[in-house]
Amino acid sequence: MNIHTTKKNGRVYHVVSWFSDGRQHRRFFSNGEEARRVKRQMERERRSEGDAFLHIPIEDRAELAVLWREALRLGLRPLAVLRQLRDASKDDAPAPVTLGEAFNQFMAEKRDPKQNLGKYSLIGFNSNLGRFTKSVGDEKLIGDVTRQDIVGWLKPFTSQVTFNTYLTSLKTFFRWAHLRAGLIKADPAALVDKIKRRQMKDAEVVILNAAQAHSLLAAASSVDPALVPIYALGLFGGLRPGEAQKMRWEWVADTVFVPRAICKTRDERYVEMNPTLAAWIAPHRRAEGLIAPNNLRKLDEEARVLAGLVTREKSAGGRGYLLRKTGWGQDCLRHSFGSHYLPLHSAERTIAQMGHAKRDYDTFFNYYKRTVKESEAHAFWSLRPGITPTHSPASTPKT
């Protein structure tokens, strides 16, 4: 536990800081003497009561003191009263509710306008939780769902983003069932950890060269021409897949406006309408409406298979098929943009175009390194509809 000073909004504060439960905690004071007095008091409390007492706010401590005095006046010990209440609550188990019923109740509450949830948040909850409920069994009692059920269901999702997205929805749902709705006595998702972000190895950062990008766009034109603007926004505009799928034609003019509501970082930005992006978008431009076509996922899969970037293989059970990535990777279009844009422009300009968090150079250079030659970048940016590009090297940047 120590004291240091810091400036905040032009004022000097004295800060008492300490570590507990692996986290740093701080309390701010405008007076140095008061900070030293509180530090001495907290050190005494830590020696006598341990770290737990330090987390109780001052106003709650005053309330605890009142409860303690009232309990003593009635001849009771506070801890004994709490134990009696705990034992009595053991017989007050929640009424049995199925997972399907809990899911419907949760969604009905989230759809309430007072919740002020966005359209895509509702779609995400409905899709993610609906898939879990159907897989585990909607007739299963929600109180019988275990941590092992959740971990087992999440195990096939090897992508960090996909795993964490589903887990976030599950944590929200079971926390609601436990604390708000009172449907379960313990939260089975509370002890399931998210996958921590890791740095991608160079071999995992897959990009498309000029020839591959042209093949994909040609395949898109064959499958459904409405796919071309979506691919162009990723390849030549650097938009994230989730951003491109939600873009509207009203936002595409002399520049491409990416509004705050669809940005991952919640920071709106304007993307340069460079000549390459303009050339691929112009033949498909409309006045208004969503840019993405209906049934986007199926059409995207067809185009990537036709371009030879993924192949279909029968699953082990003989039912359905699996997609094997032969020239494709996560955020492949966006990575292709960044890797070909960077050799011709500064890192600052590339970061601004792609909407990275301000000055997040570590993340940026983990994915976009100067491994593409200028000649390869020029070939990429010279792509135009109807013109076959010259030979380009392999899709994965050399280290």
pLDDT value at residue 333: 94
Number of structural domains the chain divides into: 3
State which residues form the domain around 208.
203-381
Average pLDDT over residues 78-94: 67
Round to whole Å and give the CA distance between 141 and 102.
Answer: 9
Average pLDDT of the chain to the nearest whole number = 83
Determine the angle formed by the axes of helices 347-354 and 332-341, rounding to 10 degrees: 150
In a shared domain, residues 20 and 80 = yes
**Domain endpoint, select from 36, 58, 89:** 89
CATH code (residue 234) = 1.10.443.10
Domain shared by 376 and 244, yes or no: yes
Both 80 and 109 in one domain: the answer is no
Q: Is 250 found in the same domain as 209?
A: yes
169 found inside a domain: yes
Q: How confident is the model at residue 234, as a pLDDT?
A: 95
Residues in Cβ contact with 208 at an 8 Å cutoff, skipping those fewer than 6 apart = 216, 235, 309, 327, 332, 333, 336, 395
Residues 320 and 352 in one domain: yes
Q: Are residues 238 and 274 in the same domain?
A: yes
Residues 274, 365 within the same domain:
yes
Q: What is the pLDDT of residue 368?
A: 63
Decide which of 147, 180, 213 is a domain's last residue. Answer: 180
Q: Is the pLDDT of residue 89 over 80?
A: no
Residue range 130-155, pLDDT digits in tens: 999 999 998 999 999 999 999 999 98
Mean pLDDT along residues 57-77: 75
**Are residues 60 and 117 both part of a single domain?**
no
* Domain-embedded: residue 189: no
Residues 304 and 253 in one domain: yes
What's the Cα-to-Cα distance from 382 to each of 219, 255, 379, rounded to whole Å? 19, 19, 5
For residue range 219-241, what is the model confidence (pLDDT) as tens digits?
999 999 999 999 999 999 999 99
247 vs 80, which has greater pLDDT?
A: 247
The answer to whether position 190 is within a domain reads no
Handedness of CA 311, 392, 226, 345 (dihedral sign): positive
- Token digits of residue 318: 């003989």
Q: Given this model, what pLDDT does residue 26 score? A: 79
Q: Are residues 248 and 108 in the same domain?
A: no
Q: How many Å apart are CA 374 and CA 344, to the nearest integer?
A: 7
pTM of this prediction exceeds 0.85: no
Are residues 26 and 106 located together in one domain of the fold? no
Same domain, 146 and 47: no
